[in-house]
Structure 1
Amino acid sequence: MRKLKLFLINAAILTLTSLVIRTTGVFFSVYISNKIGALGMGLYQLIMSVYSFAITVASSGAGLASTRLVAEELAHGSHTGIKRAMRRCVCYSAFFGLLAWALLFFSAPFIGEVWLGDHRTISSLYLLSINLPFLAVASTFSGYFTAMRRISKNACAQIVEQFIRITATVCLLQLMVPSGLEYGCIAVVLGGSISEIGSFFYLLLLFLRDKRKLPNDGKSGKRLTPRLLGIALPVALSAYIRTGLSTIKHLMIPKGLQKHGGSPESVLAQYGMVSGMAMPVIMFPSAFLSAFSSLLVPEVTECNEQKRYERIDYIISLVFQINLFFSIGVCGVLMCFSNSLGDIIYHSQEVAGYIKILAPLAILIYLDNSVDSLLKGLNQQISAMRHDIFDLMVSIVLIWFLLPLYGIKGYIIVMFTSMLINISLSINSLVCVTSFRIRIFQWILKPAFGIIGAVAVVELIERFTFLGKVHTAASLTLSILLTCLIYYFFLRVTGSITSDEIKTIKKMLR
């Protein structure tokens, strides 16, 4: 019970932190899109697709390795083993961070001119390469604090990073946007680089202070280097393939849209609206669930190490129940209020249309993130990577054929197909290695009917009250909150959420 209470407290800290960061992130994204436009957002998304591959090379599974190794040593009560494990993880991540810097820095002109087909991206790639070693080592510190259940350290680091990012980027945009679109992208990239380097030094100081508190108990971890390489290298190799395919996929999208018709500028703008404007709104509510996902790896790892299989099944059931109740509700809210969200946030009904169409992706994405964390905790990370690689290969084939024929509609079809394949394979792997089973009626059908009913009631209320159909930010917030309350009422009435479950959670929190 004490460990479950600690899990919930850490989850609450991460949820609050993630919510603050996502909220400021959405508003910050709106600010950036207003400064550099949809075309600039599209160009920025292209740059970040290459950078994501560089990050994969830099980290090379170091974050997961530090979480797993520290959690395993902690389960055996070996504090000396934790210190030795972290030394190896830092050396490992520093090596791959420097390797990633060299690869991106020296290949930036080729990537910008040949792969991205836009010389304006080269300067941004140079700048992004600088912070790769810092980002790589920082991931090991973050993994350490996650495994030690000292989530407040990571939370503070995220808030510090977000504060630096926003402050630096706003100042740089004011100075550089008048010089052109290329400099606008440089301002956003440079602001991000400064924040990531600042976050590294902050985490380094926290880690050094925390490390001094670990006693030298003489229980030295065994075979740490083989265990580190056994966790990190398979993940890294699979991640290289997965992220490489993902980069190819994102680079193919603008070219496929151009074949359907349209200038490079209009295609980049359309791509920017979907990936850089609509998707952040879809992903914003996941702040409430991301905490559980990040904490699942050490929690399940420790239970698996101690062979507590009944508790693992309980955690999995809890994760699915919370995920599905929440994501189905989010999907209904996004679909119902998409027009108002697009108008208030971006002043664009075109973006609003994309929000409505993409809303069901929330159910698939949110659940997939948590299932992947569960699989990693159960030492099934290779299976998770295999699923990602397979669905990316299918996506590339679909992009090749569908985008020239259907344009942006084809891209949306690919997004849904990709997520359906991934989540289906991941759930199947989870069912194969545990005794967990999905309760379709209780976890899917009941909440689906519940959110439909809640939305219908709110729409009826809006016809006869001051909320009306033309939403302001305040009335939209009230309507969404009212929908959530009615949805919760439906879940209680139908028995999806029972009084015993609520009492149990309250008891844990006390």
Structure 2
Amino acid sequence: MNTFLKGMAILVVANFLGEVVEFLVNMILARELGESGMGHYMTILPTIFLIMMLASFELPVSISKMVAERDESYHRSMISHAIRLAVFFTAILFIAAAVTLPLIPVFKDYHPLMKWVVLALIPVMTISAIARGFFMGKQEMGKIAVSHFIRRVVQLGLLTFLFQFFEFGSETALLVAFCTLAGSEVVVFLYLLHFFILSYQRIKRVPGKHLSGKEVRKNLVAVSVPTTALRIFHSLTHAVQPFLIKAAVIAAGISPEMATEQFGMLAGVAMTIGFFPAFIAHSFLIILIPTVSKAYAEREFHKLQKLLQQVMLLTILYGLPSVTAFYFLAEPLTSKFFHSQEAAVYVQMLAPYFLFHFFTIPMQAYLIGLGLIKDAFIHSVYATAVTFSLIYLVGSRPEWQMQGVIVGMNTGSLVILFLHYLTICKKIGITWRAKSTIRYTRY
């Protein structure tokens, strides 16, 4: 537990600093791109993240889980086979992407070089994923934390320099914004690769036990494939959601240009403010997967129950005060940092959405650690069906418009929270008696 709390503290501090920098990044983007440009930026961003996620093949999750569950003597053999699998997968994905990216319609409204910037990131993301998974499994959270911080700082530095000393048209400005994102990923890749090579050289000098390539591939694929499917589903829904939201408010009587601007305020301003404390939830996500995997492999159910209590308590302690502050300070925050008073009402209405997600993010890590990836996927399908249905049905009504969209988002986030929580409790032995008291089963 001390290792968990220490790693958690390191991640929280580093991610907090990273979120401060990310906040500044979004301020620069909002100022330089304008409301319309920010809307276009946030519209294409989920699609790019989907491609980057495919390149990683969820290797950070599968490798960290396998490293945490296995004795250190097996690590050299595991990593060797994982590298071969990653190189093979990267080659196939790179060729497939080179053929299909020019044909994706969503890129037609952006600079022609945009698709090639994304293509260049594929091998970078795959190799970085191996190193990240290894360090996560070894509980070396300092390197993970520093890599997150470096990404933010490099992007901020590039944005500040380029927009300070050069003038760009609207289309080129969007390309430059994405190039700074790509540049930050390259720097993180070099940082992680350096330390990974050093670590790999050390474990090569230690006598190790052999694992067959077939066994390693089977274990990695058993986690990576369903986790990737889950992430693909999330990425696809996030890629579709901007268009669904804009279609709903257009059907409610809003012009297409106004719909793009409103979505820019929702995603670029309200989400930036409301999800600022989510760095703590993402810190939980990173450290919980190997911690829960190891505890479950050793059948330490009491530890899992106690860990869940701690995660829930810590989430309440930071989540509830955060969303309360955002609710009452929404107008000064949106006006001072983003010069957008209209987004204040979005921040206030999205308060439940932010709070529920602070709980949902670590619970998803719990489900992955417990081997319940299929359950997490089914929960996401149910919640997305509810969210999308309400977004269009309520958001397309003239009297609701964007407020109706937010009602759908809040409801969907509540659905997935309850599904995750009830499934975890059942798996680790938490049950309820008649008078709403909780009983923790002893194993």
1:203 match: 192
1:414 match: 408
SS in 1 for 2:206: coil
**Worse-superposed segment, 213-222 or 339-348:** 213-222
2:391 match: 399
1:193 aligned onto 2:187: no
Query: Equivalent residues in 2 for 1:281-360 (5 A)?
Result: 281-360=273-352
1:39 aligned onto 2:36: yes
Tell me the distance in 2 between the aligned counterparts of 1:93 and 1:47.
27
Task: Mark the CA change 1:288 to 1:395 in structure 2 (over 3 Å): closer, same or farther.
Answer: closer
Task: Mark the CA change 1:99 to 1:246 in structure 2 (over 3 Å): closer, same or farther.
Answer: farther
Query: Equivalent residues in 2 for 1:40-59 (5 A)?
Result: 40-59=37-56
Tell me the distance in 2 between the aligned counterparts of 1:265 and 1:98.
40
TM, length-normalised to structure 1: 0.79
SS in 1 for 2:276: helix
2:80 match: 87
1:216 aligned onto 2:210: no
How many residues of Structure 1 are paired with residues of Structure 2 in the alignment?
A: 431
1:425 match: 419
Task: Mark the CA change 1:84 to 1:257 in structure 2 (over 3 Å): closer, same or farther.
Answer: farther
Query: Equivalent residues in 2 for 1:18-417 (5 A)?
Result: 18-73=15-70, 77-79=71-73, 81-111=74-104, 114-115=105-106, 119-120=109-110, 122-174=112-164, 178-214=167-203, 215-221=205-211, 223-405=215-397, 406-417=400-411
Amino acid at match of 1:307: R
SS in 1 for 2:17: helix
Tell me the distance in 2 between the aligned counterparts of 1:126 and 1:312.
45
Tell me the distance in 2 between the aligned counterparts of 1:240 and 1:351.
29
Task: Mark the CA change 1:119 to 1:414 in structure 2 (over 3 Å): closer, same or farther.
Answer: same
Tell me the distance in 1 between the aligned counterparts of 2:111 and 2:242.
15
Amino acid at match of 1:36: L
Tell me how far 1:72 sits from its aligned partner.
Answer: 1.3
For residues 323-365 of structure 1, the C-alpha deviation after alignment (integer angstroms, 9 at most, x for no partner) is 1232112121111222221222122221222212212222201
Tell me the distance in 2 between the aligned counterparts of 1:125 and 1:400.
30
Task: Mark the CA change 1:12 to 1:238 in structure 2 (over 3 Å): closer, same or farther.
Answer: closer
Tell me how far 1:98 sits from its aligned partner.
Answer: 4.4
Tell me the distance in 2 between the aligned counterparts of 1:401 and 1:121.
34
Query: Equivalent residues in 2 for 1:469-508 (5 A)?
Result: none
Check the 8 A contact 1:67/1:147 in 2, yes or no: yes
Task: Mark the CA change 1:141 to 1:333 in structure 2 (over 3 Å): closer, same or farther.
Answer: same
Tell me the distance in 2 between the aligned counterparts of 1:217 and 1:359.
53
SS in 1 for 2:209: coil
Tell me the distance in 1 between the aligned counterparts of 2:233 and 2:102.
23
Tell me how far 1:367 sits from its aligned partner.
Answer: 0.3
Check the 8 A contact 1:245/1:389 in 2, yes or no: no
2:441 match: none
Tell me the distance in 1 between the aligned counterparts of 2:436 and 2:96.
50
Tell me how far 1:229 sits from its aligned partner.
Answer: 1.5
Tell me how far 1:254 sits from its aligned partner.
Answer: 2.2
Tell me the distance in 2 between the aligned counterparts of 1:41 and 1:336.
25
Tell me how far 1:100 sits from its aligned partner.
Answer: 4.3
Tell me the distance in 2 between the aligned counterparts of 1:168 and 1:438.
53
SS in 1 for 2:385: helix
Check the 8 A contact 2:323/2:351 in 1, yes or no: yes
Tell me how far 1:21 sits from its aligned partner.
Answer: 0.3
1:14 match: 11
Tell me the distance in 1 between the aligned counterparts of 2:237 and 2:263.
18
Tell me the distance in 2 between the aligned counterparts of 1:264 and 1:372.
36
2:440 match: none
Tell me the distance in 2 between the aligned counterparts of 1:175 and 1:37.
18
- Where structure 2 has 5 or more consecutive residues not aligned to the other structure, the ranges are 438-443
Give RMSD over aligned pairs.
2.4
Check the 8 A contact 1:38/1:273 in 2, yes or no: yes
For residues 67-116 of structure 1, the C-alpha deviation after alignment (integer angstroms, 9 at most, x for no partner) is 1111112xxx333x2122222333333444444444444444443xx447
**Worse-superposed segment, 96-105 or 382-391:** 96-105
Tell me the distance in 1 between the aligned counterparts of 2:88 and 2:160.
33
Check the 8 A contact 2:25/2:156 in 1, yes or no: yes
Task: Mark the CA change 1:408 to 1:109 in structure 2 (over 3 Å): closer, same or farther.
Answer: farther
Tell me the distance in 1 between the aligned counterparts of 2:97 and 2:402.
30
Task: Mark the CA change 1:303 to 1:331 in structure 2 (over 3 Å): closer, same or farther.
Answer: same
Rg comparison, structure with higher value: 1
SS in 2 for 1:262: coil
Check the 8 A contact 2:21/2:153 in 1, yes or no: no
Tell me the distance in 1 between the aligned counterparts of 2:103 and 2:255.
23
Query: Equivalent residues in 2 for 1:438-453 (5 A)?
Result: none
Check the 8 A contact 2:56/2:126 in 1, yes or no: yes
For residues 246-271 of structure 1, the C-alpha deviation after alignment (integer angstroms, 9 at most, x for no partner) is 32233322233222233332211110
Tell me the distance in 1 between the aligned counterparts of 2:436 and 2:317.
10
Amino acid at match of 2:44: I
SS in 1 for 2:208: coil
Check the 8 A contact 1:300/1:377 in 2, yes or no: yes
